[in-house]
Amino acid sequence: MSEEVLDEWKIALVRKKSELEACQLEHQVKSCMKCDKLLDCTVRDAYIKAVYDSMSKGAGGGFEF
């Protein structure tokens, strides 16, 4: 197993993923798509932001549809 050095963006991503998984467990869903709060969920929004920040290392204007 290879060790990967985690930068601050990956650390934040791991934390947000853990929070998201805990939320899914609490709401007894395996996917956010099955949750009633999908479009108004701060946990999911924070996770999505962490994903894009991790990919861009914080550079850029975020992700907008």
Please tell me the predicted confidence (pLDDT) of residue 2.
Answer: 43
DSSP string computed for 1-65: -------HHHHHHHHHHHHHHHHHHHTT-SSGGG-TTGGG-HHHHHHHHHHHHHHHTT-SS----
Per-residue pLDDT tens over the stretch 22-47: 999 999 999 999 999 999 999 999 99
At 52, the pLDDT band (50, 70, 90 cuts) reads confident
pTM as predicted: 0.76
